[in-house]
Amino acid sequence: MEQWPTLEEQIEQAGIYYPRKYDITYRVGYILQSIGALGFVILYALESRLQTIPLIIFESGIALSSVFLLVWKAEIKRFILRMTFVGIALQISSIFINSINGFYAEKMFLLGLGFALVGGAGLVGKEAYCFRFNEGWLLLMIYPLAVIPNLFGFASYSYNLIVSAVIAVLQISFLRRKLSQPLLKKCEGNVCGLPETKQR
């Protein structure tokens, strides 16, 4: 049977600079996402006005993991980065529009959250595909349920609380599995293939 190279060997052969500290930073992004998701549920249940703080932590985690994501196809990483930072930019813009039109500011904020969650879905989807994390597939499916009903005004307080709680539980379970992995672990069954070797 052909012996596939380790991920570190694949990285070196491809001429990519991705040390172990990058993988650690990538995982820190997931820690922030879990902290943010759990914090949001708690503050939302308490109907606290500080709900925005854990949301910022959550999206900062998505942004951090997006920047330090390692994938062989550059277009995948570019897509995730664009969705994440477009979403964050829209949410920041909604703050300035709020004084002019609160209705459109809210819709812009939710749209921005949706874009950011597309980026987050790309991250967990990649982990689900590469490492068979069922939590990743479930998060990929539930993220749209956190935004679309709110965007069209169908969601209730109870609905949002339940969806947020499910996301938090899945995030924590996902994080536990991710942190238990060795650093720079290659894909299960080599489903990701090999990177193109850099021309020297």
Q: What is the pLDDT of residues 8-52, one digit of tens each?
A: 878 888 788 899 999 999 999 999 999 999 999 999 999 999 999
Residue 163 predicted with pLDDT over 90? yes
User: Does 6 reside within a domain?
Assistant: no
Q: What integer pLDDT is reported at residue 200 of this predicted model?
A: 38
Structural domain count of the chain: 1
User: Does 75 reside within a domain?
Assistant: yes
Residue 53 predicted with pLDDT over 80? yes
Q: Residue 39: give the domain boundaries.
A: 11-185
pTM of the model: 0.91
63 closest CA partner among 38, 39, 91, 97: 91
What is the share, in percent, of the chain residues with pLDDT greater than 90? 74
How many C-beta neighbours within 10 Å does residue 167 have? 25
Could you tell me the pLDDT band of residue 199, with boundaries at 50, 70 and 90? very low
Tell how far CA 63 is from the center of its chain.
8
The pLDDT mean for the chain works out to: 91
From residue 99, how far is each of 53, 88, 102, 107, 151 by CA, in Å? Answer: 20, 19, 7, 14, 20
User: Does 3 reside within a domain?
Assistant: no
- DSSP sequence for 114-125: HHHHHHHHHHHH
User: Which tens digits make up the pLDDT trace of 137-161?
Assistant: 999 999 999 999 999 999 999 999 9
- Contact partners, residue 74, CB within 8 Å, separation at least 6: none
Could you tell me the pLDDT band of residue 73, with boundaries at 50, 70 and 90? confident
Mean pLDDT (whole number) for 88-108:
91
- CB of 71 within 8 A of CB of 77? yes
User: Which tens digits make up the pLDDT trace of 81-97?
Assistant: 999 999 999 999 999 99
User: Does 149 reside within a domain?
Assistant: yes
User: Does 2 reside within a domain?
Assistant: no
- Contact partners, residue 24, CB within 8 Å, separation at least 6: 183
Region at 48 (left for phi over 0; alpha for psi -120 to 50; beta for the rest) = beta
User: Does 196 reside within a domain?
Assistant: no
